[in-house]
A and B are shown apart, each in its own frame.
Chain A
Amino acid sequence: MMLVMLLLTSPRSSLAQEDFDYTKAYKDYVFTQDVYQKAHGDYLLARSQYLDAQTLASQTKAEEKTIAMLRARDDVMVTYFTVVRMRLAETEGISDTEKNSLYSRLDSETAWFQAHKDGISSAASLDDLVVDSSEAAKRFTTIEPLIYEVLGTIPIGRVETLRTSINKILAQIKTKIEEIRVNGDHDTTNAERWTIETENKITRSLDKSIEAQKIIYSFQTLEERDLRQIDLNKEYNGAITILQESNQLLRESASYMREIVKQIKTKS
């Protein structure tokens, strides 16, 4: 938790970046989830006892346990945003502009939940706590599109990285084929044909990625009333399926390139 706070207060400090990575952030997240689960169990028990007994003692206990649960819940959200942020930071294939935009929005939400946690008074009544909880619940609903946007951008970056690698290898192959063709000591007809097929596969993969990207980016423009009608999880899964198709096309293009290498290495 101290590391999380350090990262949040000075996110670009070299010390934090060296010491704090996705794995550590994820451990923090799992830890806060465990704390929340216990606090939530205590809250449910205290609530039940209060509703049964309606005594001052049971009310005090319910207030105490609710405060602990609400704070633990905010902690889960803070560490969750942190771990998602770290995953985004460690993913290649995403432009800095895009990353910075997402960092900014994630940090804003992190700060909100941190402030919300700090704002929960120890002397709050049960009614106050219900209001506090409702505020966080409302905020959570509005940030769901942001979370899905980040979760969708990460695999888009991964596929983009792979496509860049493939394009790089294809460029090397094309250079080599051209060299062989100039030498005139080896037939390159088949290899050139396979090159065209490989390019087609890569282009189709790119089209698929753009299609998935459109779905993910559309989450930015969703308004509150849209959120009631749209199933974000379903949309996100649809985008992931398209990205899987894109990745499959890249695999096929890699196998084509393997064939080109074979053509070069053997006599026809």
Chain B
Amino acid sequence: MNPDTSQPVPPQPPISISVPPIPSEPAPVPETPKTPRPSPLSKIKSFFANIKIKKGGESPVSPTTKMSIKRLVILLTAIFFVIIMVAVAFKLLMNKPAVVAPTPTPTPTATPEILVPSAYANDEDVLAIEAALDYLEGELKIVSLRDDELAIPLLDWEVSFEE
């Protein structure tokens, strides 16, 4: 009923609306149930589970796989130790005290003594004394107090004809 008019609305023929056909959507593919992607931890767990020997049964892992596992373990252990060694060596090198380049110690240079000659600098007697001292000092240096060439001769004093 129209609220503005109080007259009843005559019945109207039905309206037909042609609707273009809607392209049918592709039929939904029935979804396969998704299996959860295994985490690395679960992989390792399953890996080790596989190698467990069942009680009373044979190992599910082939001997070839076993060998490769052993090799892998050995290789990993070796790598681990090498890393440790490298780390220790590195630490030692880092802790090594730095080489200090020697710096030359300054050699003290004596300031030249300024000598003012006296009135006796060229005195004959003084010069004669100086010359005598030169000679004497030379003699004191070369004097030999031990005549090694005059050491007592080593001779065989034990003459006998008995065995």
Task: Point out residues on A near B: beta carbons under 8 Å.
Answer: 26, 33, 36, 40, 43, 47, 50-51, 62, 66, 69-70, 73, 76-77, 80, 83-84, 87, 126, 129-130, 133-134, 136-137, 140, 144, 147, 151, 154-155, 158-159, 162, 165-166, 168-169, 172-173, 176, 180, 185-186, 240, 243-244, 247, 250-251, 254-255, 257-258, 261-262, 264-267
Which residues of B sit under 8 angstroms from A243, Cβ to Cβ? 145
CA distance A84 to B152 in the complex (A): 10
Tell me if A165 and B161 are in contact (CB < 8 A): no
Main secondary structure of the interface of A (DSSP, over half): helix
Tell me if A40 and B161 are in contact (CB < 8 A): no
Tell me if B120 and A251 are in contact (CB < 8 A): no
Tell me if A126 and B161 are in contact (CB < 8 A): yes
Of the listed stretches B6-14, B65-73, B133-141, chain A binds B133-141
Tell me if B140 and A258 are in contact (CB < 8 A): no
Which residues of A sit under 8 angstroms from B155, Cβ to Cβ? 36, 73, 76-77, 140
The answer, among A73, A133, A140, A251, for a CB contact under 8 Å with B137, is A251
Main secondary structure of the interface of B (DSSP, over half): loop
CA distance A247 to B142 in the complex (A): 11
**Count of chain B residues with Cβ under 8 Å from any Cβ of A?**
37
CA distance A26 to B128 in the complex (A): 37
CA distance A258 to B135 in the complex (A): 12
Which residues of A sit under 8 angstroms from B140, Cβ to Cβ? 162, 247, 250-251, 254
The answer, among B116, B136, B156, B157, for a CB contact under 8 Å with A169, is B136
| B31, CB-defined interface residue at 8 Å | no
Which residues of A sit under 8 angstroms from B156, Cβ to Cβ? 40, 69, 73
